Chain A
Amino acid sequence: MKRIAVIILLGVLGFFIFSGIYSNEAFTEFGNVDLNNRVSNKFITKSVTDENDIVEFGKSSNLETGSANYVTSIVVNYRSFDTLGEVTVLFISSLGVALLLGTLGGKLTHKYRANFILRVGAKTIFPLIALTGIYIFIHGHLTPGGGFPGGSMIASAVLLLYLADENFRAKMSSFKLAESFAGSLYVLIGIFGLLTSGYFLNNFMNTGVIGDLFSAGIIPIVYVLVGLKVGSELTGIITDFLKVEVDE
Chain B
Amino acid sequence: MIQYVSIVLMLIGIYGLLIDRNIIKIIVALNIFEVGLNIFIVSVGFVSGGVAPILTSVNSNSALIYVDPLPQALVLTSIVIGLGTTALALAIARKMYNAYNSLDLDEIGGMDND
| B60 is an interface residue with CB less than 8 A from chain A | yes
**B residues 16-56 touching A (CB-CB < 8 Å):** 18-19, 43-48, 52-56
**A residues 118-169 touching B (CB-CB < 8 Å):** 142-144, 148
With A7-B15, A18-B7 known to touch, is A96 a contact of B73 (CB < 8 Å)?
no
CA of A240 to CA of B94, assembled, Å: 11
| A211 is an interface residue with CB less than 8 A from chain B | yes
**A residues 78-109 touching B (CB-CB < 8 Å):** 79, 82-83, 85-86, 89-90, 92-94, 96-97, 100-101
Q: Count A-B pairs with CB separation below 8 Å.
A: 150
By size class, the interface of chain B is 35 or more
Q: Are B66 and A44 in contact (CB under 8 A)?
A: yes
Q: Are A240 and B91 in contact (CB under 8 A)?
A: yes
Least CB separation from A101: chain B residue: B91
Q: Are A55 and B55 in contact (CB under 8 A)?
A: yes
Contacts of A18 in B (CB 8 A): 4, 7
Q: Are B84 and A58 in contact (CB under 8 A)?
A: no
- Distance in angstroms from A168 CB to nearest chain B CB is 22
Q: Are B19 and A3 in contact (CB under 8 A)?
A: yes
**A residues 222-248 touching B (CB-CB < 8 Å):** 237, 240-241, 245
Contacts of B70 in A (CB 8 A): 38-40, 43, 74
Give A15-53 as 1s and 0s: 1 = Cβ < 8 Å from B's Cβ atoms.
001100100000000111101001110011110000010
Q: Are B66 and A82 in contact (CB under 8 A)?
A: no
Number of interface residues of A (CB under 8 A): 59
Contact of B61 among A31, A56, A79, A83 (CB under 8 A): A56
Contact of B55 among A13, A30, A86, A211 (CB under 8 A): A211
CA of A20 to CA of B63, assembled, Å: 34
Q: Are A14 and B55 in contact (CB under 8 A)?
A: no
With A54-B61, A54-B62, A211-B57 known to touch, is A90 a contact of B91 (CB < 8 Å)?
no
Q: Are B91 and A79 in contact (CB under 8 A)?
A: no
| A188 is an interface residue with CB less than 8 A from chain B | no
Q: Are B91 and A96 in contact (CB under 8 A)?
A: yes
Q: Are A245 and B84 in contact (CB under 8 A)?
A: no
With A96-B91, A241-B91 known to touch, is A33 a contact of B45 (CB < 8 Å)?
yes
- Of the A-B pairs whose beta carbons lie under 8 Å apart in the complex, a sample of 17, sorted by A's number, is A14-B11, A35-B47, A40-B70, A54-B61, A56-B60, A57-B60, A57-B61, A58-B60, A71-B53, A71-B54, A71-B72, A75-B77, A90-B83, A96-B88, A97-B87, A142-B54, A237-B87
Give the interface of B toward A (CB within 8 A).
Answer: 1-4, 7-8, 11, 14-15, 18-19, 43-48, 52-57, 59-63, 66-70, 72-74, 76-77, 80-81, 83-85, 87-88, 90-92, 94-95, 98
